[in-house]
Structure 1
Amino acid sequence: MSDKASSTRDVLEWLQRDVTPSVDNHLEAILGESQFADRLTYQIRSGGKRLRPGLAMLSGTLCGLEAADILDIAAAVEMIHTYSLLHDDLVDDDRYRRGEPAFWVEFGHDDAINIGDMMFTRGLKTVPDDQEHLAIETVHEMTAGQQMDLDFDRRRDVTSEEYLEMVQKKTGSLFDLCLELPQAVSDTDLDVDGYSSLWPAFQIYDDIQDCKHGKGKSKPGGDICSGKRTLMTIHTNSDEVYDILDKPPEETTQADVQEVIDRYQENGSITYARNYMEQLQDDAKASLQNLPESPERTKLQVLAQLDFEL
């Protein structure tokens, strides 16, 4: 086994062994006080790698925060993340999340909206030291990115620059919060702003994985059925691809999905996206040179290798 694979395994084990139990127990304690605890904890019980809380804990440790504050920040970002998942699955009509029925399938559309809102506000209340304004700004950016993504579904002229801006807002802003909140609470500057190059790499990786086996939410090509514009779509720039993407999801066949994937492959668009992703990874890893050697820096380096599904 290569050193790279071993390091990735170690970080995944750390997320499972150390991050998940402590964060999930804290979330259960926070949300268990509610009369709606069964629904508030449904998505949390379905699992997940807890990457965002892990990043918050790494940042908090590097900033020298107390354990209680680190745990509150980690729980807050996971609640904000969970709120976004409840709404995203409803908007995207995704019936499965992490191999289990999506929240809206289990409890209905109305509950998905309302419980999602409740989760968001509970996350804000958990942010320590009067820094909830950072979380509010983050959710503003996330929803702006989500709206851009929705608007893209009606266009055939989306540019790479627009796609990357959308990704940074929709996906990257919450990852940024994981690193920024501990710095704000501790009044510390870790000088790792360049690490944010990794967030678009995460999304590009996610897009590529969807062409392979569906990211654990559905069959391969869920994004294609939903009409999503990705970096591969923009690179291929084919009317035939857009014709399929513009079909209603229920009319998009597996043959349609395979045709789009084949065109991505034939045009070198998957390779293009992967190469772009790897350059972003390199930029992120380079930004960590400002940090002193530590177990936390090593974990951040390994996360930037992107050797696993997110």
Structure 2
Amino acid sequence: MAPSANAPAQADAKANPLDSLIAMVADDLKAVNRTIVEQMQSPVALIPQLAGHLVAAGGKRLRPVLTLATARLCGYEGAGHVLVATCVEFIHTATLLHDDVVDDSKLRRGRESANAIWGNEPSVLVGDFLFSRAFEMLVDHGDLPTMRLLSRACATLSEGEVMQLLTANDIETTRDAYLDVIRGKTAALFAAAARAGGMVAQRPEAELNALSTYGMNLGTAFQVVDDTLDYSAEQAALGKEVGDDFRDGKVTLPAILAIERGSDEERAFWQRCLGDQDIHDGDLEHAMELMRRHNALDDAQAQARAYVEEARQALEVFPDNPMRRILLDVADFSLERAF
């Protein structure tokens, strides 16, 4: 049986909080990984091959780990959360496959993306398979409330991606519009994953809402930090090319802040690069200089810090124990990550 919320963490004292959280749900996560392998199988050989490529690429499995952790936080001692966490991971993996096609990304976690190896069509179709398999598992499990939660999250994810397409190349994009995008395409699944653990444990609505709030704010902070890293991190640490958002014309929070605070000449620069996609050698470096000049990266990080604080406050409804403390630390750690 996996450790309860009141058991001491078995992680190395020097481990970062996310590694400590993973250690606390290690047995559950092994069960999730076994279920992933079982449920990826198909007589169509390309499906497990392509899906397995992305799963094997690593990653912290943060979203399913949230489901496992919140179930244990709520005192759950059964095994039903393993299936739900697997469904969460399948949904996330499917969105990665689709996102890489939409973004024409050639790297995923430092390795060639699936679409770079097999092409766009197989990646989209295997993503569809994973979505379908997730809901097939929930139907077989007879878990209608969780199926409703995750299906709503899937719809929100799709809306967020469409909103991102609509705001791409538009330097008039506002902070509110940007937040709508990232809450849809990223934070909604964090919120659903966190809430799902409480639902498995059949906790009251107040606690479920607290878990949703934690997940939503953690996911929002996570994406803001990710968008900031795109202009400040080394490729080796980030696992993708620095400046991807700039080259793709994505108008993220650091760019929005720099545009708001810039001169007409600077605004013309952003329009040429982000709006018109007319990018020259040295433009990325100039964009990063403008962000430093206007304190855009630091202020974006400060905004992420505010979301982390909201996430922390949401967990106050739960009693103090090692699992709650680790979840609080994970929220703080989201500000410091370089991956």
Same fold (TM over 0.5): yes
Say yes or no: does 1:97 pair with 2:124: no
Determine helix, strand or coil for the equivalent of 1:147: helix
CA apart distance, 1:309:
3.6
Residue identity over aligned pairs, in percent, reads 24
Match in the other structure for 1:42: 53
Determine helix, strand or coil for the equivalent of 2:79: helix
Q: What is the identity, as a one-letter code, of the residue corresponding to 1:23? A: V
The CA distance in 2 between the partners of 1:56 and 1:34, in whole Å, is 30
Q: Which runs of 5 or more residues in structure 2 are unaligned?
A: 1-11, 260-266
**Residue number among 82, 86, 94 corresponding to 1:75 in the alignment:** 86
Match in the other structure for 2:167: 152
8 Å CA contact 2:169, 2:276 repeated in 1:
no
Match in the other structure for 1:267: 294
TM-score between the two structures when normalised by the length of structure 2: 0.83
**Residue number among 264, 281, 284 corresponding to 1:257 in the alignment:** 284
Match in the other structure for 1:303: 330
The CA distance in 1 between the partners of 2:200 and 2:20, in whole Å, is 28
The CA distance in 1 between the partners of 2:176 and 2:19, in whole Å, is 32
8 Å CA contact 2:114, 2:123 repeated in 1:
yes
Match in the other structure for 1:177: 192
Determine helix, strand or coil for the equivalent of 1:304: helix
The CA distance in 2 between the partners of 1:186 and 1:216, in whole Å, is 35
TM-score between the two structures when normalised by the length of structure 1: 0.90
Q: What is the identity, as a one-letter code, of the residue corresponding to 1:15? A: I
The CA distance in 1 between the partners of 2:85 and 2:101, in whole Å, is 25
Match in the other structure for 1:30: 39
The CA distance in 1 between the partners of 2:21 and 2:313, in whole Å, is 23
The CA distance in 2 between the partners of 1:293 and 1:14, in whole Å, is 15
Number of positions where the alignment pairs a residue of Structure 1 with one of Structure 2: 304
For residues 195-224 of structure 1, what are the alpha-carbon distances to aligned partners after superposition, in whole Å with 9 as ceiling and x for unaligned?
Answer: 222221111100111112246443211111
CA apart distance, 1:97:
0.3
Match in the other structure for 2:134: 123
Which sits farther off after the overlay, 175-184 or 136-145?
Answer: 175-184
Q: What is the identity, as a one-letter code, of the residue corresponding to 2:59? A: G
8 Å CA contact 1:73, 1:181 repeated in 2:
yes
Match in the other structure for 1:108: 119
Say yes or no: does 1:225 pair with 2:247: yes
Say yes or no: does 1:167 pair with 2:161: no
Distance 1:7 1:178, change over 3 A: farther
The CA distance in 1 between the partners of 2:281 and 2:131, in whole Å, is 36
Distance 1:187 1:7, change over 3 A: farther
8 Å CA contact 1:90, 1:109 repeated in 2:
yes
How well do the aligned residues superpose, as a CA RMSD in angstroms?
2.2
Determine helix, strand or coil for the equivalent of 2:319: coil
8 Å CA contact 1:8, 1:302 repeated in 2:
no
The CA distance in 1 between the partners of 2:281 and 2:100, in whole Å, is 21
Match in the other structure for 1:188: 203
8 Å CA contact 2:21, 2:327 repeated in 1:
no
Say yes or no: does 1:21 pair with 2:33: no
CA apart distance, 1:6:
5.3
The CA distance in 1 between the partners of 2:154 and 2:279, in whole Å, is 32
Match in the other structure for 1:239: 268
Distance 1:299 1:217, change over 3 A: same
Q: What is the identity, as a one-letter code, of the residue corresponding to 1:9? A: N
